[in-house]
Chains A and B, each alone.
Chain A
Amino acid sequence: MIKRSAYQDSVTLLGLARELRTRNGVLEAAALMGSPANKDLLAQSGLLTTEAAAAGVNDLVIVIRADSAEAAGAALSQAEAFLGARQRRLEGAGRRLPRTLESARRHLPDANLVVISVPGAFAASEARKALSLGLHVMLFSDNVALEDEVALKELARRRGLLLMGPDCGTAILNGVPLGFANAVPRGRVGFVAASGTGLQQVMTLLAARGEGVSQAIGVGGRDMTEQVGGVMTLQALDALGADPTTELIIVVGKPPAPLVRGQVEARLRAMQKPCVMALLGRGVRGRQEGSLATAATLEDASEAAMAMLQGVAWTSRPFSAPPTEIRTHLQAVWKTLAPERRVVRGLYAGGTLAHEAALILEPFLGPVATTLTPESAGRHSVVDLGSDEFTLGRAHPMLDSSLRVQAIHQAAREHDVGVLLLDVVLGHGAAADPAGDVAPAIEAARAEARDRGRGLAVVASVIGTARDPQGREAQVARLGAAGAWVLPSNAQAARAAACIAGGEPVMQSLLGSGGA
């Protein structure tokens, strides 16, 4: 079925395809816009009909392969009904939805923020329009050209406007969660974040201790590179510095380009407020210099912030639980694992969380691969399933767990994988039940590994709050019931995985020393 000039967003279409696949008699289903790349995907699955091949970029293509004509017809009818219902719901009480930013402004003349998640090729010009109209922008889209980012941020800077992004997935402004954000209280901690899940980890840990967010400003993953020069980071720092409700500032991301680092640190030191830098990279050591703290992990950032707000010294421990509890748990795990099963495989939805895990594992276990190739067999790996190579034709792992589930089953069959390391991210915009989506696979994988006499440990952390739509406690319980060892933070989960894989020596160095 081809619907001409009937654009739908990618997430909606992937959801429709998934629904159609669950129907009786449907063997394969695809719902895509007729772009060249999508037509290639269809061809790969043997779904490129002549009609589909002739479709244009603005045409919606729905292809069903079923075991009978009736099943196919019924599926297409369901697709029609789905699209019709969406259209009616979107249009509400008979009013048309605006088709452009300009006409939207006629409906909501005092709008002050434009959230843009259109395909990257078009995102920059929409962002430019928004800024030209004097509106702040959250640019969720990725695949925006670097020179466009530079030009847009210069325009934004000149006009005193926010341009959060590109590739900004999380922000909180005036208590309003934007994109993939958690339900955290309003409070006194301000964030400047080049990373979405990094931000989510720090602010959910603070929320668990009763500390809330004043503003959480995303700046996009490239802001602190030399070419972009940290423009938005510096703008955001200035704004938070001047904001009376912000009492402490945390900067989250990767190590900046040297020139940018200098400017950022200078700004932070000049603040009349305590600041924490969580710029995660190799060789970053935690330390405190007056009111500026440097954290090597996201959890440390939250600890340092708490300490400075309370006016006490910042100490950090490798695990929240008492060492005896950790020791006991590890010894029990080691008993279940065959000696050759010592490889860590991290399967992550959050890019920064994957990065943090790899940084923590490396000093203990040696080099950690970041891709899953035949060469990585036998090596420790931490894979970001949200990166481009995995998300072609597929929704992001925060929404769609199918790839991760596949990888969990696969790991059980590999003779050397001993421990799986997972992040489970909650919040607005994430899947309805992320723990429930992976729990059956975890159970099945562990059972299969046990049957083969080899064992498989699963370590996880849940990034979320009690007030998130999914509910943190329930998610933790579900994972625990499936046999996962759930730790309070990604950093602790990574350390636990390092201990499982590295054995006694690693455990001693962590529990014995008591340092970061």
Chain B
Amino acid sequence: MAGIGDLFRQEIRVINLGLEAFALTLEQLGVPVIHVAWSPPAGGDPRKAALLAALADEEEE
């Protein structure tokens, strides 16, 4: 999945995090989209959220 140019040749398939309205618009347009029922990590606790971010998986190759 490398290269912006590659993206131009693929069908856009979206994961939507946040405002539900965006996912609904894309659904209505027939664009493959999945909405994530997102909520702040660690219930919004900033310290725990920072710890989670620090312990997140590194890049996939």
Q: Taking beta carbons and an 8 Å cutoff, which residues of A are in contact with B?
A: 5, 7, 9-12, 35, 56-58, 86, 90, 96-101, 104-105, 107-108, 110-119, 121-122, 125-126, 128-136, 140-141, 155, 159-162, 173-174, 176-179, 215, 217, 235-236, 238-239, 242-243, 245, 428-429
Contacts and interface: CB of A to CB of B under 8 A. Distances in A.
Contacts of A7: 38-40
A97 B36 contact: yes
Contacts of A57: 40, 43-45
B29 to A, nearest CB: 7
A14 B32 CA distance: 27
A128 B60 CA distance: 12
B25 to A, nearest CB: 5
23 contacts: A5-B39, A7-B39, A58-B44, A97-B36, A99-B36, A99-B39, A100-B36, A104-B36, A113-B7, A114-B16, A117-B16, A117-B19, A122-B49, A125-B52, A131-B59, A132-B57, A132-B59, A134-B60, A159-B59, A174-B8, A177-B25, A239-B4, A242-B5
Contact of B29 (A5, A177, A215, A238): A177
Contacts of A110: 13
B58 A132 contact: yes
A158 to B, nearest CB: 9
Contacts of A99: 36-39
Contacts of B1: 112, 134-135, 161
B39 A162 contact: no
Contacts of B33: 108
Interface residues of B, number: 47
A174 B11 contact: yes
B10 A132 contact: no
Contacts of B31: 176
Given A9-B20, A57-B43, A132 B34 contact: no
Shortest 10 CB-CB distances between A and B: which pairs? Answer: A57-B44, A117-B18, A7-B39, A239-B4, A97-B37, A125-B53, A134-B1, A132-B59, A118-B18, A117-B19
Nearest to B41: A122
Contacts of B43: 5, 56-58
A98 B59 contact: no
Contacts of B10: 112, 174
Contacts of B58: 132
Contacts of B49: 121-122, 125
Nearest to B53: A125
A101 B20 contact: no
Contacts of A12: 19-21
A100 B4 CA distance: 25
A117 B22 CA distance: 9
A97 B16 CA distance: 11
B34 A174 contact: no
A125 B56 contact: yes
B29 A176 contact: yes
Nearest to A118: B18
A235 B5 CA distance: 10
Given A132-B60, A174-B8, A115 B36 contact: no
B7 A136 contact: yes
Contacts of B57: 129, 132
Given A99-B36, A126-B17, A239-B4, A176 B22 contact: no
A354 B26 CA distance: 29
A97 B35 contact: yes
A129 B56 CA distance: 8
A135 B56 contact: no
B36 A101 contact: yes
B16 A243 contact: no
B8 A116 contact: no
Contacts of B40: 7, 57-58, 118-119, 121-122
A11 B19 contact: yes
Contacts of B36: 97-101, 104
A286 B57 CA distance: 49
B12 A173 contact: yes
Contacts of B22: 115, 117, 140, 178-179, 429
Contacts of B53: 125, 128
Given A162-B7, A428-B25, A429-B22, A108 B56 contact: no
Nearest to A141: B18
A140 B19 contact: yes
Contact of B5 (A98, A125, A179, A243): A243
Contacts of A130: 15
B15 A108 contact: yes
B2 A108 contact: no
Contact of A98 (B26, B34, B60): B34
B35 to A, nearest CB: 6
